Amino acid sequence: MPGINYEDFLDLDHEPRDSELVCTFAVEPASDMDMADAAGRVASESSNGTWAELQVEGSITDLSATACAIDGNRVTVAYPDALFEDGNMAQVLSCIAGNIMGMKAVERIRLLDCDWPEPLATSFPGPQFGSSVRQEIFDAGDRPITATVPKPKVGLSTDQHAQIGYEAWTGGLDLLKDDENLTDQDFNPFADRLTESLAQRDRAEDETGETKSYLVNVTADTRRMLERVDMVAEHGGEYVMVDVVTCGWAAVQRVRERCEDHGLAIHAHRAMHAAFDRIPDHGVSMRVIAQITRLCGADQLHTGTADLGKLENEDTTGINEWLYADLHGLNDVLPVASGGLHPGLVPELIDRVGTNVCVQAGGGVHGHPEGTHAGAKAFRAAVDAAAAGQDIEAKADEVPELATAIEKWGTETPR
Ligand code: CAP
Ligand code: MG
């Protein structure tokens, strides 16, 4: 059956233009297909190709992508700038991570990495603040900023939630953070949680003399998210938290605009990322999800614990390097290390990821034998010691709460 000539989408001599988006895929062709064929089909289906030969009247704009390199199972595809709508991440992803993920021509396909050209990258806002939040909001100097999620993740009343915040803040932590599945449920309504937590925040600031803030989760449909963003600004918050993967990039872009109006920073939680990136030879890598999150404008993003915590991580340090690196003048992103952390893991963690990070511990603070306030003191002490290059045991001699935490959890990775 005469069909499209996929060889038209394959040119191994093609040198990508500066304006082209260059994507790297890992491809496992179908059993009856060789890599060159599969590469042509990937370029075709992710740009302007279809399976049938077409008779089109008059000329059309040629928006064909080009498979321009094949290296083992790595296929590089260059996409013309005109294929994309400026500033529309959903449209870009419908090209580079759309139908190709389900094609029969490939057994497996994974979008590994993207090289974002200036025209396309700068059509997105990027982060408002990025890692400068450490200085601009917290005056934290060169130490990591610290955060805690009240546990259990859901079910606490508003009073309990806000009280835990007060104990954590006065214990030395910078940020209270909502859990990814806490939004506006009856047991802890958003508006009450916001006002009561910020009231406790103000109290803690007065008592400690330190700046404190709250990562309140505004995740919902876009209309309600915008209402919640406005409410946070109205009540003197500095941050909103968004579950960027479950919300979708179109919604994230809308929230970014509104946060610009209010000067609010965005904390990106990546719940559901593993549905895309966990299977090593299929899907969309966390590296690409991080790139998208930066372009769409989040200031902080969870990138894992460099394999020290309870959750599987994909290349935390490599992704962090990309988030710090120049991207056509767009701001960087502050990586967030979270998931099964406790004081005993902090020295090794900071060794691996450095101090230009936010470190979060939920169970590792509230599971402390003496409770939240002691857990917070222990976690802050561990972070201060690591940032100062001080031995944690020596710090534990000064901070008994830290000694208790080390006694309880040692330096083990929880499962
Ligand atoms: C951590 C956490 C975070 C995960 C997200 C949780 O709690 O609140 O959602 O860190 O994973 O619900 O598990 P603990 P990631 O500190 O008590 O483990 O950071 O990898 O995106
Ligand atoms: Mg959580």
The tens-digit pLDDT sequence of the chain (415 residues) is 455 788 999 999 999 999 999 999 999 999 999 999 999 999 999 999 988 888 888 888 889 999 999 999 999 999 999 999 999 999 999 999 999 999 999 999 999 999 999 999 999 999 999 999 999 999 899 999 999 999 999 999 999 999 999 999 999 999 999 999 999 999 999 999 999 999 999 999 999 999 999 999 999 999 999 999 999 999 999 999 999 999 999 999 999 999 999 999 999 999 999 999 999 999 999 999 999 999 999 999 999 999 999 999 899 999 999 999 999 999 999 999 999 999 999 999 999 999 999 999 999 999 999 999 999 999 999 999 999 999 999 999 999 999 999 999 998 877 7
| 274 contacts: CB under 8 Å, gap ≥ 6 | 311, 312
Give residue for tokens 């038209």: 8
Helices 316-324 and 286-296: crossing angle in degrees, nearest 10, is: 30
For 407, residues 6+ apart whose C-beta sits below 8 A from its C-beta are none
Task: Compute the distance between CA of residue 287 and CA of residue 34 in angstroms, rounded to an integer.
Answer: 27
To 10 degrees, what angle do helices 158-170 and 190-208 make? Answer: 20
Does pTM top 0.75 for this prediction?
Answer: yes
Query: CA-CA distance, 110 to 100, in Å (whole number)?
Result: 10
Q: What is the dihedral of CA 35, 41, 47, 50, to 10 degrees?
A: 180
Predicted local distance difference test score (pLDDT) of residue 3: 58
Closest CA to 126 of 286, 315, 261, 323: 323
Distance 153 CA to ligand 2 centre (A): 7
pLDDT at 212: 98
Give the residue whose CA is nearest to atom 19 of ligand 1.
Answer: 338
Residue list, ligand 1 pocket, CB within 6 Å = 149, 151, 153, 179-180, 270, 302, 304, 310-311, 338-341, 360-364
| Structural element, H or E, at residue 148 | strand 145-148
DSSP per-residue letters across 64-93: --EEEEEETTEEEEEE-GGGSPTT-HHHHH
| CA–CA gap between residue 174 and residue 367 (Å, rounded) | 18
Ligand 1 atom index nearest CA of 153: 12
Q: How far is the CA of 182 from the centre of ligand 2 (A)?
A: 9
- The residues carrying an active-site annotation are 151, 269
Q: Which residue has a Cα nearest atom 1 of ligand 1?
A: 339
Q: Which three-class secondary structure state does DSSP give residue 363? A: helix
Distance 243 CA to ligand 1 centre (A): 12
Helix, coil or strand: residue 323:
helix
Give the Å distance between the CA of 254 and the centre of ligand 1: 25
Residues in the chain, total: 415
CB under 8 Å to 197, separation ≥6 — which residues?
161, 162, 165, 176, 214, 216
What are the residues whose beta carbons fall under 8 Å from the beta carbon of 234, sequence distance 6 or more? none
199: CB partners within 8 A, 6+ apart = 162
Please name which of 191, 241, 197 lies closest in space to residue 219, comparing C-alpha atoms: 241
Per-residue pLDDT, 1: 44
List phi, psi (to 5°) of 293: -65, -40
Enter the tokens of residue 149. 């999620």
Q: Atom 20 of ligand 1 has which residue's CA nearest to it?
A: 304
Q: Is the dihedral of CA 122, 128, 131, 136 positive or negative?
A: positive
Inter-CA distances, 276 with 74, 244, 271, 314, 389, Å: 18, 13, 11, 12, 37
